[in-house]
């Protein structure tokens, strides 16, 4: 079962292939959600400063019956921070909010501040290198164990790889049936950078899609399980988001394999076309 499967990052650290995403669960509720997720088998969690729920995630980890060393925690820098000193401060503040001694994975959340996404061509190459310099120092100081990027295009990844000392461990990008950025995924794979798939269920948009439901029926699984299996078989780490215990269990219970022929057909599907009509 994929619930037990781990992948090894380019720094030798093992990571669960199925993790729980925590956006947009609020800070008050996420503590209970994390505890429940741990009780049903999750050992890895993904959050971010911009989600506003880091302290709740930390409390959920602290109040569980599982050792901290058995939990893998990912968080992300605020997208508005693109300078060295601001990054150092953001890392220390995150550790304080979590009340933890270290963060397992720290990501640059986006190459651009949210306010600029899809509005400007400025990729903030220098600012991202300032982020990275502080993140590399945090690794050497033992505050962070692995570092990576999120929502980075090829040019953004190349900027870090060509100018940094530590290669990104992951690039967390949107991957799901109907949206498979093959070129970017292959580029990262060739560099030894693991792809993490955020929004593997397309925010629920495609769970009633006729084609996806037909394939799910063929394998006697739910549409969500089919979509998660698709990303897992592409070699991605997946980050399904749910605050419902039954859904959490279902999302961990991926014990079937999509045939090569069906995978090839599913990769060709495009969202918002006649091939996929909700």
Beta bridge partners of 49: none
User: pTM of this prediction?
Assistant: 0.95
Token pair for 159: 């900027």
pLDDT at residue 227, as a whole number: 98
Residue in 2, 42, 51, 215 annotated catalytic: 51
Q: How many residues does the chain have?
A: 278
pLDDT along the chain (278 residues), means of 10: 84 97 96 97 97 97 94 98 98 96 98 93 97 98 98 98 98 97 98 98 94 97 98 98 96 96 95 44
pLDDT at residue 272, as a whole number: 61
pLDDT at residue 276, as a whole number: 39
What is the DSSP annotation of 37-74? Answer: HHHHT--EEE--GGGT-HHHHHHHHHTSSS-GGG-EEE
pLDDT at residue 277, as a whole number: 30
pLDDT at residue 270, as a whole number: 85
Active site residue 51: yes
Cis peptide before 24 (omega within 30 of 0): yes
Token pair for 260: 């090569």
188: left (phi over 0), alpha (psi -120 to 50) or beta: alpha
Q: Which of 7, 66, 68, 55 minimizes the C-alpha distance to 29? A: 55
> Exposure string (b/e) for 50-75, b if CB count within 10 Å is 16 or more?
bbebbbbbbbbbeebeeeeeebbbbb
């Amino acid at each position: 079962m994929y619930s037990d499967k781990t992948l090894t990052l380019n720094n030798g650290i093992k990571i669960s292939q199925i993790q729980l995403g925590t956006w947009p669960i609020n800070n008050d509720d996420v503590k209970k959600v994390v505890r429940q997720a741990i009780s049903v088998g999750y050992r890895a969690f993904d959050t971010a400063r911009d989600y506003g729920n880091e302290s709740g995630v930390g409390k959920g980890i602290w109040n569980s019956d599982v050792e901290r060393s058995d939990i893998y925690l990912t968080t992300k820098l605020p997208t508005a921070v693109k300078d060295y000193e601001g990054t150092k401060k953001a890392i220390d503040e995150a550790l304080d909010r979590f009340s933890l001694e270290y963060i397992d994975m720290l990501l640059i959340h986006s190459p651009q501040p949210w306010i600029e996404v899809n509005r400007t061509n400025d990729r903030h190459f220098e600012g991202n290198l300032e982020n990275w310099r502080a993140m590399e120092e945090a690794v050497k100081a033992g505050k962070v164990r692995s570092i990576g990027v999120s929502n980075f295009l090829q040019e953004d990844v190349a900027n870090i790889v060509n100018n940094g000392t530590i290669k990104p461990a992951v690039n967390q990008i949107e991957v799901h049936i109907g949206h498979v950025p093959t070129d970017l995924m292959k580029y990262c794979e060739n560099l030894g950078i693991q792809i993490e798939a955020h929004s593997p269920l397309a925010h629920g948009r495609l769970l009633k899609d006729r084609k996806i439901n037909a394939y799910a029926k063929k394998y006697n699984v739910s549409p969500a399980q089919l979509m998660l299996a698709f990303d897992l078989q592409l070699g991605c780490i997946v980050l399904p988001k749910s605050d419902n215990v039954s859904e959490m269990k279902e999302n961990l219970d991926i014990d079937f394999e999509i045939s090569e022929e069906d995978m090839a057909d599913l990769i060709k599907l495009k969202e918002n076309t006649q091939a996929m009509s909700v």
